[in-house]
Structures are given as C-alpha cells and as structure tokens.
A and B are shown apart, each in its own frame.
Chain A
C-alpha cells in the first residue's frame, strides 16, 4: 500500500504561513476599503513580505529536490533580506516619487526574516532531505587544498 505523500509544509510552519497570508489579504482589503490607516498597512506589508516570499522559495526548493526535510540555507535568506532592503529602501525611492525610504521598513524586513528563520524554515518531521545540493557538501578541513584527481 502506498503511503500518502507528505505536504512540503505542515504543522506550525504551515499554520503560520497560512495565518500570515490571510493577514496580508485582510490588510489589502481593509486598505482598499479605507478602514485601516496607511501607516499600519505599509509597515505590516514590510513585515509580511519576507516570510511569504521566502516560504515560496523554500517550497520551490522542497518540490524541486523532492525532500520535505530540506531547509533554506541561511545565506539565501540573508541575500533576500539584503536585496529587499537595498532595492526597496535604497534604489526604488530614487527612481520613483511614489516610494519613500524609511529605515523602519528595514527593521520590519529583519523582523519578518527572523520569524521565517525561527518558525517556518524547519524540516517536516520524519522526512528525507531529497537529493543532495552543492550547498550540502561539506569539505573536511584536512581535505582542503588537496587534489581529488583528474575529472
């Protein structure tokens, strides 16, 4: 009998992801209706942005590698944090008058990244990491600088 395939996200990470996604949709609706002050929605957008985008990246990695135990390397998350901060707070405000730079937005990005890293970026229990990617390969210090033969 075939065992049912595990979802790429489950438990607390799935609950939090759905909660954040739901909150984002509600904020956009309230913003459209003019119920919620723009100040709150703009900071909330920045807070929700990285957990939602990085979860998308994590899901893509899990679907691509076929392993639900896979987690997104810290370097990928930090690169996303740097890219979003530089682009939306450094570059875009210079190109468009509709966008303003605000250091508190960067703080919201950092907060969102920490939530993703602490809660969502966890392996699904009892699953395999899938096939090995280059980032998983650890070269022992004793082997560094040594030839591995002709390839």
Chain B
C-alpha cells in the first residue's frame, strides 16, 4: 500500500495536486501510520 502511495505521487512529478506531492514525498505514509498509532493508543487508554 505504501509503495502504491509513493508511486501514485511519483507519477505526478512537478504537475500534481498538493495531495499527490504529499504522497510522493513520503509524508502521507508517515501521517497515515502516526494517525493510526494515535487512534490505537487512544482506544486502548479509554
């Protein structure tokens, strides 16, 4: 899934939407995992 995200972003080199540039730089992957971890930790603490 991560590879698909990066490839999706890479295809939009220099002309993509901001979302695709975020995917291309790897930030989307980082944010997805961080968000998932935060939701999981919150659920475990509740």
Give, as a whole number of angstroms, the nearest-CB distance from A49 to chain B. 7
Interface membership of A63, Cβ < 8 A: yes
Taking Cβ atoms with an 8 Å cutoff, the residues of A that contact B are 49, 53, 56-57, 60-61, 63-66, 72-73, 76, 79-80, 83-84, 87-88, 92, 96, 98-99, 131, 133-135, 151
- Produce 1/0 per residue, B8-46, CB < 8 A to A: 011000110000010011110110011001100110011
Contact A133 B41 (CB under 8 A): no
Chain B binding surface SS class? helix
Contact B29 A56 (CB under 8 A): no
Contact A151 B24 (CB under 8 A): no
Taking Cβ atoms with an 8 Å cutoff, the residues of B that contact A are 2-3, 5-6, 9-10, 14-15, 21, 24-27, 29-30, 33-34, 37-38, 41-42, 45-46
Residue pairs across A and B with CB atoms within 8 Å: the count is 65
Question: Given A49-B41, A64-B6, A66-B3, A83 and B34 touching (CB < 8 A)?
Answer: yes
Contact B2 A64 (CB under 8 A): yes
- What are the residues of chain A within 8 A of B42 when measuring CB–CB? 92
Which residue of A has the minimal Cβ distance to B33?
A: A57
Contact A60 B34 (CB under 8 A): no
Contact B25 A134 (CB under 8 A): yes
Question: Given A84-B38, A98-B46, A131-B10, A61 and B21 touching (CB < 8 A)?
Answer: no
